[in-house]
A and B are shown apart, each in its own frame.
Chain A
């Protein structure tokens, strides 16, 4: 399919810079974007009739966001942009996409997938109560819709996003009831060693925490979540154990929760790219070389969809993957461009690993989840059901457990529960989490309407 176009999936920081580099080399890539407007998640654009300035929306990252948006707008005449379009499957002829009810098969010579990430979730009793959202959701409500998820939210989980979102809410006039972080202060100090490579980013984080504390927002470190409480089907409070083991309670009307990110890897899986277990991020991901090449010669990956390094790294990795596509397709790309991007990404790698160390995924919480806690929110599969798959039904890995008691069988395909379910299965069988494997992807990776029509 050498005459077919290069396709870029996703139009966040990685996808935008990839497309830009391909255009610079004279190509006309197809850019497929699930969102209606370019920008991805972190630089998500507000609707056209909103008027807040970029500084309001993106804070210290406003200049980067504006540049990414402007550069993309300039690319528009030179690319085949398909907004509001989801890639849901793969056939021998190409990528299966859907927009509304129209299914189209898009052939490609090479494809760069920049599918991004979602929040990484550890369930807690009560997390399906209306008013409980992912941290990313709390941020999107504010950024893209000028709404808060409640009047008095609690932000719970771990990672830098916890403090950024809490601070953004404070700025918007919504004072968080508390910020609850499972990472202890001593753990964070250990991660600082590697994070020192990007002092400005660390300084921003420290400033958010200081501003929150100054405004009287309670910041608790080293906590253990116990429950999200509800009354009349709405969130009414959060219960946790503090670092000294004391049971604590905060009244609230919403919760934003998240424990770092998980990569969206379904398309790489459908394309049969080889996966490896990444011990740093404790999750399976596609294997890539330093330029984003996968085990398949026509598939390249960049951004948080493969390595959780954040938006700055995604821009560099997107450009780098495009350079690899160009070179592999016979275009001349100077070695110095590769070298410079590798240098940028070396710093980002170190920082990303420092973050994972400072705000670790609290895998240990899975073992203590009560049996009746819902883990799979699509089909209400409980922790006890997963343990039954592990014990009585003797499922050695996730796909067997899914077949037997259905965790990950629902329509989100395990995006919300898969990583926690794996921890529960592994804990119940007393094996390291990598040994229970990962949920295999099945098409369609997102639900399709029953009445869709295939267009040629």
Chain B
């Protein structure tokens, strides 16, 4: 799946590494989780009702369509969470019982 987003400036930042669905990806320091993922691929999550891929919509914390999860079950709004080195993200929901 090709990347959706394209970097147009600020490319000389320090690189960081994080994991998405178990795969290591390279991102830049200061990226949001959304940007780290969408400069690499074309989806963030799947809609709960038809399982179709979604990739966020508003980027300002209103639409709630960019949720991802950390492997330990914490849910994150990818548009307003800064990517951290070593973060382990999954694009499929972690069952809520492991979430407590």
Contact = CB atoms under 8 A, between A and B. Distances in A.
Interface in A45-90: 46-52, 56
Given A130-B4, A411-B64, A118 B54 contact: no
Q: Chain B's interface: helix, strand, loop or mixed, by majority?
A: loop
B8 A264 contact: no
A165 interface: no
A151 B43 contact: no
Interface size class of A (residues with CB under 8 A): 35 or more
Contacts of A423: none
A147 B62 contact: no
A147 B30 contact: no
Contacts of B9: 52, 56, 146, 172
Interface stretch (A105-113, A241-249, A305-313, A445-453): A445-453
Contact of B60 (A41, A128, A254, A378): A41
A233 B57 contact: no
Contacts of A377: 47, 57, 63, 65
A134 interface: yes
A380 B50 contact: yes
A35 interface: yes
B10 A137 contact: no
A285 interface: no
Contacts of A264: 62
Given A34-B61, A137-B59, A49 B50 contact: no
Contact of B6 (A34, A133, A150, A411): A150
B82 A47 contact: yes
Interface size class of B (residues with CB under 8 A): 35 or more
Interface in B22-75: 29-32, 35, 38-39, 42-43, 47-50, 52-65, 74-75
A145 B35 contact: yes
Given A147-B7, A148-B8, A232-B1, A133 B32 contact: no
Instruction: With a 10 A CB-CB cut-off, give which of B49, B61, B74, B100 has the most chain A CB atoms.
Output: B49
A240 B50 CA distance: 26
Most A CB within 10 A of own CB, among B32, B43, B58:
B58
A132 B55 CA distance: 8
A142 interface: yes
B55, B56, B63, B64: which has the most chain A beta carbons within 10 Å?
A: B63
B59 A133 contact: yes
A34 B53 CA distance: 27
B62 A49 contact: no
B49 A380 contact: yes
B58 A51 contact: no
A428 B63 CA distance: 26
A387 interface: no
A147 B8 contact: yes
B58 to A, nearest CB: 5
A148 B5 contact: yes
Contact of A149 (B5, B10, B58, B100): B5
B64 A412 contact: yes
B29 A134 contact: no
Contacts of B38: 147
A130 B58 contact: no
A174 interface: yes
Given A151-B6, A172-B9, A137 B57 contact: yes
B2 to A, nearest CB: 7
Interface in A142-194: 142, 144-151, 172-174
B99 A450 contact: yes
Contacts of A131: 4, 42, 55
A233 B59 CA distance: 19
Contacts of B100: 450-451
Given A133-B59, A145-B30, A449-B74, 7 more contacts: A49-B13, A49-B14, A118-B62, A174-B6, A415-B62, A450-B96, A450-B100
Which 9 residue pairs are nearest across A and B when measured between Cβ atoms?
Answer: A130-B55, A47-B30, A137-B59, A146-B10, A146-B9, A380-B49, A411-B64, A140-B59, A147-B5
Interface of B: 1-2, 4-11, 13-14, 29-32, 35, 38-39, 42-43, 47-50, 52-65, 74-75, 80, 82, 96, 99-100
Interface of A: 34-36, 41, 46-52, 56, 118-119, 128, 130-134, 136-137, 140-142, 144-151, 172-174, 232-234, 253-254, 264, 377-380, 410-412, 415-416, 446-447, 449-451
